[in-house]
Copies of this chain bind each other. A is one copy, B any other.
Amino acid sequence: MNKNEENFVKEITNIEENFAQWYTDIVIKADLADYTDTKGFVVIKPYGYAIWENIQQYTNDKFKKAGVKNIYLPLLIPENLLNKEKEHIEGFAPEVAWVTIGGQEELEEKLCIRPTSETMFSTLYSKWVKSWRDLPMVYNQWCNVLRWEKETRPFLRSREFLWQEGHTIHATATEAEARTQQMLNIYADIIENLLAIPVIKGRKTEKEKFSGAVATYTVETLMHDGRALQAGTSHYFGQNFTKPFEIKFQNKEGKEEYAYQTSWGFSTRLIGATIMAHGDNRGLKLPPRVAPIQAVIVPIAMQKEGVKEKAEELYNQLNIKYRMECDTRESYTPGYKFNDWEMRGIPVRIEIGPRDIENGECIFVRRDTSEKIRVKLDEIETKLGEVLEQIQQNMYNECKENMEKRTSIANNVDEFIEKINTNQGFIKTMWCGNEECENKIKELTGAHSRCIPFKKETVGDKCVCCGKPADTYVIWGRQY
């Protein structure tokens, strides 16, 4: 590490010493988000928002192919609607914000800012659904929601966040169940293929499922420090909402039936996950497919004739196919620029100076491995595509290795505690299915059950907590 680099890097807390502070440093210094005068609310800055826009674009493509249509519902929900499904309101009441004054007058009925929109969708579906011909309805909205969290952190836990919430309604339980799985698979695709983070797919336990759901499915991820992050969930509601909301349809036989519902969502937490899964001591590290800037050109000895021009020429050539930046700022040295762009997580840096131009080449520097690659200028376009793809794959693999390294098996409470304390990460256990055991593990270890994975494994035959015979395989972890 040269001196320039040292100066730069010392502004960022060491990732192994204080991961939480490292995270905040990155969020602020890489210009992803900032605090605001509204307590618990952040501003998502252009660089952070561009990541979100890339996630949205990728998702909308997948959604469209899966027959999902975008829609927009009201921000405010009358109190009586929110109260209609008992478990749902019990889950959300403590963290809702209420509008009580509108247009200088006290409202007759207070309105909550949506914490999620099951109730609003349900009341609309009760109006729209009449016959089996109207089904299914597969709608999604991109919107803001509010949950009055006590402790907040940018992207991870914020009083307001952006998300997509899909809500569907079907004629049969089988079709609704299948939709829940279909959307969970799309989430796994987004997180693995776009964000380069491996996931574990599974079902939440009764205790951890969504308020009002019959079943909640989840994609679970592991961060650099071994804490788990729930990256997206998909809920099967059965008729839990269609009954109180009276969503009935006439089936093909002319008989009235209650319909079946699902909902599924992920949020701007995914930006937090991307930071925490990949970042290192030099800062943010973005997977090429989601990076707002995929490569930055830094001219060397820019004062020399033709250098700046050549850099700009390359920029114009590459910017058609890739998301590029060309750093021709005059008040900074190349060394400063290198560190600056590394900190911002740009996958590839392209250095070009007078001698390179003479030789008809340039240097690629990979953000993930620091590897330097000499590239012929007439091959630059194809080569950049190849290197970006290699980085994407390598970042996924590194993340997967970290997950595997940080996954242990525990057969009893002592083993559980020892393993999670010495190698924080996923703990695989058997579980008897009793909520008391689940609570006890949480109390003793600080770990929540993450899910009952779809991919079954047998890691023993006794409950990790009570030692009774057990055949449910559960993964646990401390969580964000």
Contacts and interface: CB of A to CB of B under 8 A. Distances in A.
Interface string A123-163: 11001100001000001000110101010000000011010
B43 A74 contact: yes
A76 B160 CA distance: 9
A38 B77 contact: yes
Contacts of A94: 103-104
Interface string A20-39: 00000000000000101110
Given A143-B144, A144-B144, A36 B102 contact: no
Interface in A99-121: 99-104, 110-111, 113, 120
Contact of A49 (B71, B76, B102): B71
A133 to B, nearest CB: 8
Contacts of A148: 102-103
A73 B49 CA distance: 10
A92 to B, nearest CB: 11
A76 B76 CA distance: 13
A95 B101 contact: no
B101 A100 contact: yes
Contacts of A440: none
Contact of A160 (B38, B75, B97, B160): B75
B49 A72 contact: yes
B93 A97 contact: no
A384 interface: no
A343 interface: no
Contact of A104 (B49, B93, B103, B113): B93
A298 B139 CA distance: 25
Contacts of A144: 75, 143-144
A44 interface: yes
B98 A101 contact: yes
Interface in A152-206: 159-160, 162
Given A99-B99, A101-B98, A101-B100, A120 B36 contact: yes
Contacts of A334: none
Given A37-B81, A76-B160, A77-B38, A98 B100 contact: yes
A320 to B, nearest CB: 14
A42 interface: yes
Interface in A45-86: 45-46, 49-50, 52-53, 69-78, 81
Nearest to A101: B98
Contacts of A127: 34
B46 A71 contact: yes
A41 interface: yes
Contacts of A41: 74-76
Contacts of A160: 74-76
Given A36-B124, A37-B78, A38-B78, A99 B71 contact: no
A96 interface: yes
Contacts of A146: 75
Contacts of A100: 98-101
Contacts of A101: 97-98, 100, 110
A130 to B, nearest CB: 14
A100 to B, nearest CB: 5
Nearest to A37: B123
B102 A99 contact: no
Nearest to A93: B104
Contacts of A81: 37
Contacts of A331: 133
Nearest to A45: B71
Contacts of A69: 46, 49-50
A43 B126 CA distance: 14
Nearest to A46: B69
Given A71-B43, A98-B101, A76 B162 contact: no
25 contacts: A34-B124, A34-B128, A36-B120, A36-B123, A37-B81, A38-B74, A43-B73, A44-B71, A44-B72, A46-B69, A49-B72, A50-B69, A50-B70, A74-B160, A96-B103, A97-B101, A97-B103, A98-B99, A99-B100, A100-B100, A100-B101, A101-B110, A102-B159, A103-B150, A113-B113
Closest 9 CB pairs of A and B: A103-B148, A41-B74, A46-B69, A98-B101, A44-B72, A102-B148, A97-B102, A38-B74, A100-B100
Given A38-B76, A41-B76, A144-B144, 10 more contacts: A34-B124, A34-B128, A38-B78, A46-B70, A46-B139, A50-B69, A94-B104, A98-B102, A102-B159, A103-B150
